[in-house]
Amino acid sequence: MTDTGETGYEQTDQREPTMTRTFAGQDVEITNTVTEYRKEIDLGLFGSSDIGVFAVFTSPQVKVAGQTFNPISNLSNKELAQRFQQRFDGMSDVSRESEEEVDVLGSTRTVTKLSATVTVDGNQVPVFLLIANFNHESDVVVPMGIFPQEREDEEGPNIRQLMVNLTHPA
């Protein structure tokens, strides 16, 4: 979870999807936590949409036969972003822009900035995604934010603040 402070984002969903994976020949049930926050953003001629999204995904590390496994720990931030695209009608042209350091959960974390185009109500909207993927306690934690590129000056700092305010477990 995160303290949304003055960012304008509101928690809209929290769920605990369960998946079964096979590790070292054993079926293991994993319960993840996904907490989602949204913000209505004015898109000018396209009207407004809740395209401002911040989501936190946590997934436990699983120990089997003396080895630790997690289905998302080895995914790149670009692969994680592509999985996130299910929230939109479509996402294309995902490319890496830069990396920066942000203090999250007591440590400096690498946050990747990606650019992409999403389809919202039939309109193509250029967006930025800020995403990190790191271990904290016994979980893999993935905070991710998405916002229109034209609102970067306002929403970029909001997403970074949501990351800084993150508490775990989500």
Q: Is 53 in contact with 37 (CB distance < 8 Å)?
A: yes
Residues 113-125: what's their mean pLDDT?
86
pLDDT at 122: 81
Residue 114 domain-assigned (yes or no): yes
The domain total for the chain is 1
Q: In CATH, what number is assigned to the domain containing residue 56?
A: 3.40.1000
Confidence at 35, pLDDT banded by 50, 70, 90: very high
Residue 1 domain-assigned (yes or no): no
**Percent residues over pLDDT 70 in the chain:** 95
pTM value?
A: 0.86
Residue 4 domain-assigned (yes or no): no
| Residue range of the domain that includes 66 | 10-164
pLDDT at 160: 95
Residue 52 domain-assigned (yes or no): yes
pLDDT at 93: 86
pLDDT 10s digits, 12-27 = 999 998 888 777 788 8
pLDDT 10s digits, 77-112 = 777 777 766 666 678 888 899 999 999 999 999 999
Residue 170 domain-assigned (yes or no): no
Residues 129-145: what's their mean pLDDT?
92
Q: Is 116 in contact with 96 (CB distance < 8 Å)?
A: no
Higher pLDDT, 88 or 44: 44
Residue 5 domain-assigned (yes or no): no
Residue 169 domain-assigned (yes or no): no
Residue 16 domain-assigned (yes or no): yes
Q: Cα–Cα distance between 62 and 69 in angstroms, integer? A: 5
Does 7 score more than 80 pLDDT?
A: yes
